[in-house]
Amino acid sequence: MSKENEVLEALKVIIDPDLGRDIVSLGFIKDLHIDGGNVSFVVELTTPACPVKDRFQTECERVVSALPWVENVTVLMSAQKTKSPLQAQSPGLSRVANIVAVSSCKGGVGKSTMAVNLAYTLAKTGAKVGIFDADVYGPSLPTLVHPDTDEVYQQNGLIVPLEAHGVKLMSFGFVTPRGGEGAAIMRGPMVTQVINQLLTGTDWGELDYLVLDLPPGTGDVQLTLTQLVPITAAIIVTTPQHLSFIDVVKGIQMFDKVKVPTVAVIENMSYFQPEPDGEKYKLFGEGARKKLIEQYGFQNTFEFPVVPRVAEMCDNGTPVVLEDPDSDTARTFGEIGGMVVREISKLKHGAVEKPQVSFTAGRGIILTLADGTEYELDPVDVRMACRGAHTVDELTGEQKIKREDIPKNIHPTAIGKVGNYAVSIQWSWGNVPSIYPYEALLALAGE
């Protein structure tokens, strides 16, 4: 075996935790050079924001150094060149690799604060990041971030974005008098035209992530944006109240219809904790996050406490992740940023293989795994496993329906995906669809 093959075989023990494959088969190893006992190579990751890049570098040095003939190892870390599906559609977005939408279905939940701090968290990892404020009626970006200059102008037919702390910015508030303080009085078609011009007509340059701060709701603006540009993933911000949970479901359904995967939900103002190790006070109730996990199978849910300093810093134009980088708040944003990077990597590199759920008359519900393994599930068992409010009492956990209430010939009339972790089944009995996380169906199959 040649020395090159020995090095590659040694590196095959290093597995990408999100993609589930070794870094050699993924094509991460580039420019391998061997000169006697000196070995050098480049590890080209999918994004400069990769949360495990330091671990990869350490493990590469360790496994190659273990070869008996190796005297010195040099490992350089890099990232793949930005590739965009918008090259022909929009010159301004032609070098934007990923677009992340931050959404909420009701106002006042802290969505813009979350979007801005997420963007700066990604930028701190070395990624090239931009923020687009898509709220024409109530732009928040001019208040949350103070750019280096407030002059907006065109160059070569495109709008030059503003910048602050290395992140590119654009908002309707930057192109109106008094920094967006005046009221925007315009009808829906004009609003979508303005958003189109500002988003696609801005020269964003080379970006790893463009964060879209969407206005609240599921109306014209949201649908226009999802049809205008290929959004990579969506994050929904909510609060603990039951009403907010209902709105989250609407947001998930909207993104489902336009084929955008919802990868996480952030429950803001989840609790108030006066002392670092003291009691947590649930000021606005609780349960929304638990429902999302049980009913929709969300693997990425985050609780954000009420932190007055966050609002103070944002009102002063400085994101908390920059002003107080060692705080618990900044660490939580770090977790959210790492999650975004990992989920996008899974989506773009085919690591997310969900079971297929179908129905065949005479066989029942068929659960087909990625390797082709099939399981037959009794429709009555599946219907009983629903954790929705129409099946289980939300307060007591008591089952509302009994097994004998369900017709033995019950069967699905429609099956569809919900979010990124669950399916919806419309039944021949009852008018309300049931939601099932893939994990719940796998449990029924004995997996």
* Cα separation values, 371 from 46, 367, 378, Å: 26, 12, 22
Sort strands 412-418 and 374-377 into parallel, antiparallel or unpaired.
unpaired
Sort strands 233-238 and 262-267 into parallel, antiparallel or unpaired.
parallel
Phi/psi region, residue 152 (left: phi>0; alpha: psi -120 to 50; beta: rest), is: beta
Which fold is adopted by the domain 3-79?
A: GMP Synthetase; Chain A, domain 3 (3.30.300)
Judged by average pLDDT, the poorest of 45-54, 181-190, 302-311, 428-437 is: 181-190
Give SS3 for 52.
coil
Sorting pLDDT into bands at 50, 70 and 90, what band is 87? very low
Q: What is the pLDDT of residue 121?
A: 95
User: Any idea of the CA torsion for 332, 338, 342, 343, to the nearest 10 degrees?
Assistant: 40
> Which tokens in the block code for residue 294?
């049980």
The CATH number fitting domain 356-444, selected from 3.40.718.10, 3.30.300.30, 3.40.50.1100, 3.30.2020.30: 3.30.2020.30
* Cα separation values, 120 from 132, 146, 316, Å: 13, 13, 16
CATH 3.30.2020.30 domain locations along the chain: 356-444
Edge-first strand order for the sheet with 38-45 is 29-35, 38-45, 72-79
CATH 3.40.50.300 domain locations along the chain: 91-348
CATH 1.20.1250.20 applies to domain 91-348: no
User: 159: which strand partners?
Assistant: 154, 202
Encoded amino acid at 38, one letter? N
> Which tokens in the block code for residue 143?
């208040």
pLDDT higher at 149 or 84: 149
Q: What is the pLDDT of residue 47?
A: 83
Give SS3 for 366.
strand
Is the confidence at residue 88, as pLDDT, over 50? no
CATH 3.30.300.130 domain locations along the chain: 3-79
User: 30: which strand partners?
Assistant: 42
Report field, pTM of the whole predicted structure over 0.85: no
- What is the number of H-type helices and E-type strands within the chain? 13, 19
